[in-house]
Amino acid sequence: MNVAEVMRAFTTVAWLAALAVIILVVVRAGRGTPVKGATAAILGLIALATLLTVVSAGLVFMQPEQRGVVISALDPQGYRSEALQPGLRWVVPFFENVVTYPISRQTYTMSIAPLEGAVAGDDSVTARTADGQELFIDASVIFAIDPEKVVDVHIDWKNRYVDELVRPQARGIIRDATSQYGVEELVTSQRDEFKDSMQTALAAKLAENGLVLIDFVLRNITFSPEYAASVEQKQIAEQLAQQAAFIVEQRRQEAEQARQTAQGQADAAVIAAQGRAEARLIEADAEATALELIAAALAGNQDLITYNYVQKLAPGIQVMLVPNDNPFLLPLPTLTPE
């Protein structure tokens, strides 16, 4: 409770006390027992109540979030040029009165949801884009009265600045800005630019009328049912196209994997064939060398073949019988007893 309210409470008590004394005097006088000093008490209480009334009528306590416009019958222009600042202030009783205005932040919301906006029901802004599409835009305007221009706001708008300034200016600017963009731009690449353009234009309009724009919130953009259906169909088509592209890429990767596998197998076969060929060449070189050595050995000893033949038949053979009508494969040496 501030000082001004305390003074008003004392004033009320003083008047009630004066009334109570008057009633008491009248009752006692009706019974024939007058109260001594009643007149002085009544006059004193009335004087005190009057004084308190005058004082309380002139005291005004301004809250920190308030500013006061003084309407004065003593000023030639009808009001004080400076607004009352926070704290306990004094105005001339009965000749001046104070109209208070909030300087704290206020929010005005326009929404398609029935219970979210400042106006009951669908209060979204209906606007058309540059390509003729109808949109329903939800937005919130966060603003405050400029403390230095409270008197100007009172003179120009009084308490009508929300309904007759903020609301119509915001709705008009939203419609004008929407008409500058295509619908695809508003929902993709140009949404931030769209919001910034509206905020800049609205800030300038409010500043001209003593208000400060704190923020402009683009809450939602709703499409017409026809366009929403077409967007849904487009998204479905894009998803199907992406799925088809994914399948094609998957098949391409599988084909590439099969090709690389076949290439690897072919490379392995070539390497294996090369290895076998090199091994055969080495083997052939070895056989050729062996044959050369054998030929050289045979050239020096003609009976070496016969000796090897006999050794292959059985180890330690001394006598071999053959049919008399079969020729010898190899010429046998003449065997003579020791």
**pLDDT given at position 319:** 60
**Predicted pLDDT of residue 44:** 80
Residues 115 and 135 in one domain: yes
Q: Does residue 292 register a pLDDT over 90?
A: no
- Where would I find the H helices in 62-190? 150-156, 161, 167-178, 183-187
234 and 287 co-located in one domain: yes
Asked if residue 301 and residue 283 are part of one domain, the reply reads: yes
Q: Is residue 114 located within the same domain as residue 19?
A: no
Asked which of 77, 102, 127 is the last residue of a domain, the reply is: 102
Please write the tens of the pLDDT for every residue from 49-59.
788 777 777 88
Using alpha carbons, select from 60, 58, 56 the residue that is nearest to residue 83: 60
Per-residue pLDDT band at 205 (split at 50, 70, 90): very high
b/e per residue, 246-272, with b = 16+ CB within 10 A?
eeeeeeeeeeeeeeeeeeeeeeeeeee
With respect to residue 261, please indicate whether it lies within any of the assigned structural domains.
yes
Structure tokens at 294: 């054998």
Same domain, 304 and 249: yes
Residue 62 resides in a domain:
yes
Give pTM, 2 decimals.
0.60
User: Residue 114 is part of a domain; what is its CATH number?
Assistant: 3.30.479.30
Residues 170, 119 share a domain: yes
253: in domain: yes
Considering the domain architecture, whether residues 130 and 177 belong to the same structural domain is answered as yes
pLDDT band at 156 (very low <50, low <70, confident <90, very high): very high
Domain count, the chain: 3
> Could you list the residue range(s) of the whole structural domain that residue 125 is in?
106-223
In a domain, 330, yes or no: no
Residues 116 and 204 in one domain: yes
Counts for the chain of helices (H) and strands (E), in that order: 9, 8
> In this model, does residue 225 exceed pLDDT 60?
yes
- Above pLDDT 90, what percent of the chain? 32
Mean pLDDT for the stretch of residues 179-207: 90
- Residue 338 within a domain: no
69, 72, 75, 80 alpha-carbon torsion, rounded to 10° = -10
Give domain status of residue 334, yes or no: no
- CA 18 centroid distance within chain: 67
Q: Which of 41-45, 70-74, 208-212, 333-337 has the lowest mean pLDDT?
A: 333-337
Q: Are residues 83 and 187 in the same domain?
A: no
pLDDT for the residue numbered 233: 66
Residue finishing a domain among 179, 208, 223: 223
DSSP state string for 95-127: TEEEEEEE-S-EEEEE-SSTTTSSSSS--PEEE
The reply to whether 240 and 313 lie within a common domain is yes
Mean pLDDT, range 308-318, rounded to an integer:
62
- How does pLDDT run across 64-93, given as a tens digit for each residue? 999 999 999 888 889 999 999 998 888 888
The average pLDDT across 18-41 equals 73
Residue burial 210-241, b: 16+ Cβ < 10 Å; e: rest: bbbbeebebbebebeeeeeeeeeeeeeeeeee
- Judgement on whether residues 22 and 81 belong to the same structural domain of the protein: yes
Looking at the structure, tell me whether residues 42 and 122 fall in a common domain.
Answer: no
